[in-house]
């Protein structure tokens, strides 16, 4: 994969060339404003690949955070006080009937 740098003025005047470079030739085009990189134009397939990588990383990070939270909960031992979680949940619901319902669960 090659890279080309253009000024914002050149990118504006040669927009079609910029698109052809990024989409057909697989060139990443860095656009500079006042000599500083400000944007990159890449092909759509490259964009999709980068986006998928970002989602995979975010999913993995959320999974790691959840695993850490579950490890912390396991050290507390709080879940062991409820002998039958399903029965406990039914009892909790019975105490809070739904609006419009004549009788509790």
pTM over 0.75: no
Q: What is the pLDDT of residue 77?
A: 66
Question: Residue 21's CB: how many other CB atoms inside 10 A?
Answer: 19
Q: What is the pLDDT of residue 42?
A: 92
**Domains of the chain: which residue ranges?**
2-42, 44-78
Q: What is the pLDDT of residue 31?
A: 95
Structure tokens at 40: 């990159």
- CATH fold, domain 2-42, is YefM-like fold (3.40.1620)
Q: What is the H or E stretch that residue 27 is in?
A: strand 27-33
| Residue 35 Ramachandran class (φ > 0 left, ψ -120 to 50 alpha, else beta) | left
Q: What is the pLDDT of residue 5?
A: 94
Q: Can you tell me the distance from the alpha carbon of 47 to that of 41, in angstroms, rounded to the nearest whole number? A: 9
* Binned average pLDDT, 10 residues per bin, the chain of 105 residues: 91 93 88 94 90 87 88 73 81 73 58
Q: What angle (nearest 5°) sits at the alpha carbon of residue 15, between those of residues 54 and 40?
A: 25
């Amino acid at each position: 994969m090659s890279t080309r740098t253009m000024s914002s003025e050149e990118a504006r005047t040669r927009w079609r060339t910029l698109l052809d470079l990024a989409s057909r030739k697989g060139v990443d085009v860095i656009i500079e404003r006042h000599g500083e990189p400000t944007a990159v134009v890449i092909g759509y397939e490259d964009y999709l690949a980068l986006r998928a990588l970002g989602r995979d990383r975010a999913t993995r990070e959320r999974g790691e955070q959840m695993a850490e939270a579950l490890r912390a909960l396991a050290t507390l031992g709080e879940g062991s006080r409820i002998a039958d979680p399903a029965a406990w949940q039914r009892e909790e619901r019975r105490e809070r009937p739904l609006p419009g319902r004549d009788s509790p669960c």
